[in-house]
Amino acid sequence: MWMGGLKHRNIRIEQNLRTVMMRKVTLQPREESFLSGYRVPELSFECRSLPYASLAPIWEQMRNRNWEAASSAARQAMDEPRIFHPEERAAMEMALAEAQRQLGATEQARRMAGRSLDLFPNQLASHMIQVNVLAGRKDFLAAYLHLSNLAVGDTKTTWDTTLSSTETHTLLAAWSWQLGEWDDVADHLASAYPEGLASMPAPLREDFFRLALYRDNPGDATAVAAIMIQDRSEAEADEVLQAMAQQGWREEALSLYTTFYETRSESQLLRRRLVALNIKQGHIEEARRLSGSGALRLAA
């Protein structure tokens, strides 16, 4: 009689646990996710070892973000009745272009940056002004093509800017994200962070997880989720793992839930998730073991 009661109890547990549906979770991109909010790095005018004394007063105003004063200083310098070295004039045009961009005169800024490049092609700063204008207009494809086709050498001039490989590929990834080119996003992030997911900023790893969902890539999702949930609360980790389970990656989610549960064995929520996933995956004995290891509340 006692064995029959236990059998009926186990059947009821299985039936009840099958009704514990995993909470519907959809990880919506933030209004400003890391990549959608990533911007072209601002030009720096901190250099004081300038090759031409005429640039010093312009650079001082640019450092202080006095755009009108910087524009006036640049125009006044360029109006001097003398012959300019092409690099000197190019630096002035570049600074004036950036000041005008900051003031909202983006078309003038684009043209001035072009004149600077005509005078001194082997520079990056004026290119960055132009791609900043394109990105500001949400012409992400043009910005992507412009930056990806650049072949600027080492100018060895102190007034120019630099862009690291990480910054370059993160920018290209950001514009690919805006264009919905998910495979290109993944390729650029791999180039930006060759040391792997652990070297990415935490907000970027969240985008990488969304990217794995968009690309239907359970391997990438599992790898990044394993890092993401380490320092997260139970509810936050559950949201990530539920997204994987709802994507159909139940075995991967089950593995991560199991690891996460090892240090949180008192959690009713995690036990419910584990029992439900084990049943869905056909691991009935494990589900019974978990459901019998304590009073399991079946509330969703």
**Residues 101 and 139 reside in one and the same domain:** yes
- How far is Cα 188 from Cα 167, in angstroms, rounded to an integer? 10
42 occurs within a structural domain = no
Burial 72-102 (b: 16+ CB within 10 A, else e): ebbeebeeeeeebeebbbbbbbbbbbbbbbb
Residue 186, classed as helix, strand or coil, is helix
State mean pLDDT over 112-141.
Answer: 97
State mean pLDDT over 180-205.
Answer: 97
Evaluate if residue 8 carries a pLDDT over 80.
Answer: no
State mean pLDDT over 27-39.
Answer: 73
State mean pLDDT over 69-87.
Answer: 97
Percent with pLDDT over 70 in the chain: 85
- How far is Cα 186 from Cα 260, in angstroms, rounded to an integer? 27
Evaluate if residue 26 carries a pLDDT over 80.
Answer: no
Predicted TM-score (pTM) of this structure: 0.85
**Residues 217 and 250 reside in one and the same domain:** yes
State mean pLDDT over 11-26.
Answer: 41
Number of domains in the chain: 2
Q: Are 40 and 161 spatial neighbours (Cβ–Cβ below 8 Å)?
A: no
CA 258 remoteness from chain centre: 28
- Please give the pLDDT value at position 10: 46
145 occurs within a structural domain = yes
User: How many CB atoms neighbour CB 227 within 10 A?
Assistant: 16
115 occurs within a structural domain = yes
173 occurs within a structural domain = no
More confident residue, 23 or 177: 177
**Residues 151 and 215 reside in one and the same domain:** no
Evaluate if residue 234 carries a pLDDT over 60.
Answer: yes
State mean pLDDT over 20-35.
Answer: 53
286 occurs within a structural domain = yes
The highest-confidence range among 8-12, 143-147, 286-290, by mean pLDDT, is: 143-147
- Please give the pLDDT value at position 97: 98
State mean pLDDT over 147-160.
Answer: 84
Tell me which of 7-11, 40-44, 60-64 is least confident: 7-11
Mean confidence (pLDDT) of the chain? 88
- Please give the pLDDT value at position 20: 38
State mean pLDDT over 33-45.
Answer: 95
- How far is Cα 238 from Cα 242, in angstroms, rounded to an integer? 6
**Residues 79 and 14 reside in one and the same domain:** no
186 occurs within a structural domain = no
State mean pLDDT over 20-24.
Answer: 39
Using only C-alpha atoms, the chain has a radius of gyration, in whole angstroms, of 28
Contacts of 225 (CB under 8 A, 6+ apart): 209, 240, 241, 244, 256
Q: Are 35 and 208 spatial neighbours (Cβ–Cβ below 8 Å)?
A: no
Domain final position from 133, 162, 191: 162
**Residues 155 and 95 reside in one and the same domain:** yes
Ramachandran class of 248: left when φ > 0, alpha when ψ lies in -120 to 50, beta otherwise: left
State mean pLDDT over 78-91.
Answer: 96
**Among 45, 118, 31, 116, which Cα is nearest to 78's?**
116
**Helix orientation angle between 202-214 and 182-192, rounded to the nearest 10 degrees:** 150
220 occurs within a structural domain = yes
**What CATH number does residue 95 fall under?**
1.25.40.10
- Please give the pLDDT value at position 291: 85
State mean pLDDT over 51-70.
Answer: 97
* 248-295: pLDDT as tens digits: 999 999 999 999 999 998 999 999 999 999 999 999 999 999 887 554
Q: What residue numbers bound the domain in which 82 lies?
A: 53-162
Q: Which residue spans within 96-172 are E strands per DSSP?
A: none
**Residues 100 and 67 reside in one and the same domain:** yes
139 occurs within a structural domain = yes
- Please give the pLDDT value at position 21: 36
